Amino acid sequence: MKLMRKQIRWDADGVRSLRRHLGLTQQQMAQELGVRQQTISEWETGMYQPRGPSATLLSVVAERADFQYRAGREGKGRPGSRR
């Protein structure tokens, strides 16, 4: 059975807010996600945006960590800080 999740468009503020919500450094978050610390930095500075499996993984982590975000239309949501 395939679960259908709304795909959130992760921007720099959303990635940084999620990481801070989790209480992780960039290096720790990179290790947890299986990416380089430089990748986390690039997401947080807006050089690149997470996409595909990385964006999906961030959405799953956010959901399980009770990270609140404002979700707009599918594919157009904007993660935010916890409420």
| Predicted pLDDT of residue 8 | 76
Domain ranges of the chain: 16-83
| pTM score, whole prediction | 0.76
pLDDT per residue of the chain (83 residues) written in tens, 0 to 9: 555 556 678 999 999 999 999 999 999 999 999 999 999 999 999 999 999 999 999 999 999 999 986 643 334 445 554 43
pLDDT tens per residue across span 9-31: 899 999 999 999 999 999 999 99
List, in order, residues 6 or more apart from 48 with CB less than 8 Å away: 39, 42
- Round to whole Å and give the CA distance between 26 and 38: 8
Fold of the CATH domain 16-83? 434 Repressor (Amino-terminal Domain) (1.10.260)
How far apart, in whole angstroms, are the C-alpha atoms of residue 16 and residue 79? 10
